[in-house]
Structure 1
């Protein structure tokens, strides 16, 4: 796609190593919603322009077919960029609309690993402020116990994180979540920076529960 002059100007300003997420948010605040411009920026295939595109998309235009197209495009990025783009899409667009949330909730067994990641990360986000009023918690843990070690790494992380949030906030499920980590040993040998919480479930839950009790 040949870029319009407006898209080319923005692209030239943000496709730089010095561009920060805060800079993108400033651009998005000025542009507001502009789906056509978003698709132009998306067509560049570049990471920062695509992040800005996500911020200015019109969620009313996001269908399963378009999301599948975006998903396929995202999979051309390197691993960390894939996860950042898909998580950014979820946080800024997909989780803001009841119709799109219904799509997220249908993705547990999606053929797309990135859509499966969104399913699980969304479940974690529902719980991470202490909201425990969800009827599917037991079912989610059943699925985690059965499928965690069969999944792709990006999906594993989101499933594990969901178990961590459940174990943190719901005492009745805590030991079950700890046992998942003890059994799978997933992330047990992970090295984390100082003051960062490890992903290994027994340690994650111990540290996070201790924070609640302080």
Structure 2
């Protein structure tokens, strides 16, 4: 896609090594919403330009076909950048629209690994602040117990994290969530950086519950 003079000017100010996320948000605030400009910046394939593009997309113009195209493009990035771009898309666009949330909720069995990860990560996000009023918790746990170990690593992490949030906030499911970690051994042997919470469910839940009791 040919860049307009405005898109070229913005693109030339973005440097992968020195531009920070805060800088992108500052730029986005001055642009506000500009879907055409976003698509031009996206077409560059540049990681930082694509993050800026996500901030200024018009979510009213996002549908499954457009998201599939973004998803395909994201897969050309390295694994770390893939996760960052998709999480950035969740936080800044996909959860800002009831229509797009409906799409997220349909992605549990999507052929796209990234979209399946979004489904599970969204379920975890719903529970971050202790909201336990969800009718699908039992269903989610059954799906995790059945499918966790057969999923791709990116999706496994989000499924595991959802179980962690359920176990943290809902005492009646806590032992069951701990048992998932014990039976799978997932992340048990991971080396965790100092001051970071391990992903191994028995440890994650114990640490997070202890925080709640303080």
Interval containing the TM-score (normalised by the shorter chain):
over 0.9
Please give the residue correspondences for 1:110-121 in structure 2 after superposition, counting only pairs within 5 Å. Answer: 110-121=110-121
Paired residues of 2:16 and 2:47 also in contact (CA < 8 A):
no
Report Cα offsets for 1:12-55 as digits up to 9, x if no partner.
Answer: 11133111111111011111000000000000001100000000
Corresponding position of 1:178:
178
Residue 191 of structure 1: CA displacement? Answer: 1.0
RMSD: 0.6
Counterparts of 1:137 and 1:112, CA distance in 2: 23
Q: Matched residue of 1:132: which SS?
A: coil
Q: TM-score, normalised by structure 2?
A: 0.99
Q: TM-score, normalised by structure 1?
A: 0.99
Corresponding position of 1:29:
29
Paired residues of 2:116 and 2:155 also in contact (CA < 8 A):
yes
| Aligned structure 1 segments of 4 or more residues deviating by more than 4 angstroms | none
Counterparts of 2:186 and 2:176, CA distance in 1: 15
2:57 aligned with 1:57, yes or no? yes
Paired residues of 2:38 and 2:52 also in contact (CA < 8 A):
yes
Counterparts of 2:204 and 2:16, CA distance in 1: 36
Residue 65 of structure 1: CA displacement? Answer: 0.2
Q: Matched residue of 1:45: which SS?
A: coil
Structure 1: which 5+ residue stretches go unaligned? none
Aligned length: 214
Structure 2: which 5+ residue stretches go unaligned? none
Residue 192 of structure 1: CA displacement? Answer: 1.3
Counterparts of 2:124 and 2:174, CA distance in 1: 15
